Amino acid sequence: MPIRHSIIHQIDKKPDGSPAVLHVSDTELVESQSTENLLQDLNEAYNAKTGKGWGLFHAQSGAFPLSGWLQAFVDGGDFIEFSTIAVEHLTKLMEESNLSVRGHVLFAHYQQGMTDYLVVALLQHSEGITVNADLSVTPSKHLDFGNINMAARINISEWRNNPKSRQYISYLKGSKGRKATDYFRDFIGCQEGVDGPGETRTLLRAFSDFVTAEDMHEDSAREKTQALVSYSMAQAKIGEQITLDELSELIDEERPKAFYDFIRNKDYGLSAKIPADKRTLNQFRRYTGRSESMSISFEQHMLGSKIEFDKEAGTLILRGLPTQLADQLKRASA
């Protein structure tokens, strides 16, 4: 993952209402193992986050200037100049929003495979303890990647090469409230272009329809469900989208276009690539419920075949019980 440019600035904004203080760096981070580890840890934490938004730039304007500055940079401009004017704009938005969020702002331009990315993230610190060479201990600070709430990643290659794309930007919706999320999205100048959870739900509905239309045996349905979930979760883990033709090949190696053609013929409205929403995928894996004396868990595709739900009575009818469970019940009722 070659890092072309990276830099860190600092915004210090106290909760007492005093103006934010911006500390601007005039030097890029040097190429080192530490810098590579920083970006790798950030990407892993970012990919693991659920609840991302996917979208595209607003038209460049005074309200949304970042895309113009980024365009000037990728056309041969200076990275430090780009990051400086961008972080100044971010600080201005924070002041206008009267938010007390502070931290170190990382800008990193890097390449993964043949694709160029820009990631922007507000990094927080957490307190810790370190052991010194003389075996004494002292307080220390470290970047808390588990507490990232404001970050965005721009697929520069797709932005420049695919004008019709509506999902070349991903951003965290965060857990610090709608106001903080909105101002950071405004800073990026991003409008939502794709409903990630909705697209994922549509894909899973299409898969369930496909399983029904193919009249699959339970074992085959389970195997294909696992293939879909494993592939989709793997894509989410590395921050990549679900590619429908790749997924179709994994679901049925003997008929690699079957699922892809099924989606196209039924017109589900899915793009060739869709963002993988991890929360939706996790819910698709199993239905689970637990009380003090009972635990029930089963895969979704079994609903309607071996498991029926009576909504009015609030009961489940189970067929084809596991042999071990059936034997225990028989012995208990003997």
pLDDT tens-digit readout, 185-212 = 999 999 988 888 889 989 988 998 888 8
Q: Which of 74-78, 185-189, 229-233, 267-271 has the lowest mean pLDDT?
A: 267-271
pLDDT of residue 269: 85
**Could you tell me the residue ranges of all domains in the chain?**
3-194, 196-282, 286-333
Please say whether the beta carbons of 241 and 256 come within 8 A. no
List, as one string, the DSSP characters of 111-133.
EETTEEEEEEEEE-EEEEEEE-T
Please say whether the beta carbons of 228 and 318 come within 8 A. no
Give me 318's structure tokens.
């189970």
| For range 292-301, the mean pLDDT | 73
| For range 210-221, the mean pLDDT | 81
Report which of residues 40 and 183 the model is more confident about: 40
Please say whether the beta carbons of 276 and 241 come within 8 A. yes
Flag whether pLDDT at 23 surpasses 80. Answer: yes
| 221 band by pLDDT with thresholds 50, 70 and 90 | confident
| For range 114-128, the mean pLDDT | 90
Percent with pLDDT over 70 in the chain: 95
Give me 161's structure tokens.
């090469």
| For range 120-127, the mean pLDDT | 88
Residue closest to 122 by CA, chosen among 292, 1, 8, 246: 8
Residue closest to 171 by CA, chosen among 195, 147, 190: 190
Q: Which helix (H) or strand (E) holds 314?
A: none
pLDDT of residue 121: 95
pLDDT of residue 306: 77
Flag whether pLDDT at 96 surpasses 90. Answer: no
List, as one string, the DSSP characters of 254-297.
SSTTHHHHHHHHHT----SEE---HHHHHHHHEEEEE-SS-EEE
Which bin fits 236, alpha (ψ -120 to 50), beta or left (φ > 0)? alpha
pLDDT of residue 65: 96
Tell me the pLDDT tens digit for each residue of 24-52. 999 999 999 999 999 999 999 998 887 78
Tell me the pLDDT tens digit for each residue of 246-287. 999 999 888 999 999 999 888 788 888 888 888 888 877 667
- Residue type at position 98: N
pLDDT of residue 10: 94
| Dihedral of alpha carbons 45, 50, 51, 53, sign | positive
d(CA 154, CA 255): 35
Beta-bridged to residue 286, according to DSSP, are 299
Q: pTM for the full model?
A: 0.75
| For range 56-82, the mean pLDDT | 95
Q: Which of 33-47, 64-78, 119-133 has the lowest mean pLDDT?
A: 119-133
Report which of residues 93 and 84 the model is more confident about: 84
| 323 band by pLDDT with thresholds 50, 70 and 90 | confident
pLDDT of residue 175: 57
| For range 66-91, the mean pLDDT | 96
d(CA 95, CA 21): 10
pLDDT of residue 173: 82
Averaged pLDDT score across all residues of the chain:
87
pLDDT of residue 174: 61
Rounded (10°) angle between helices 278-285 and 218-237:
160
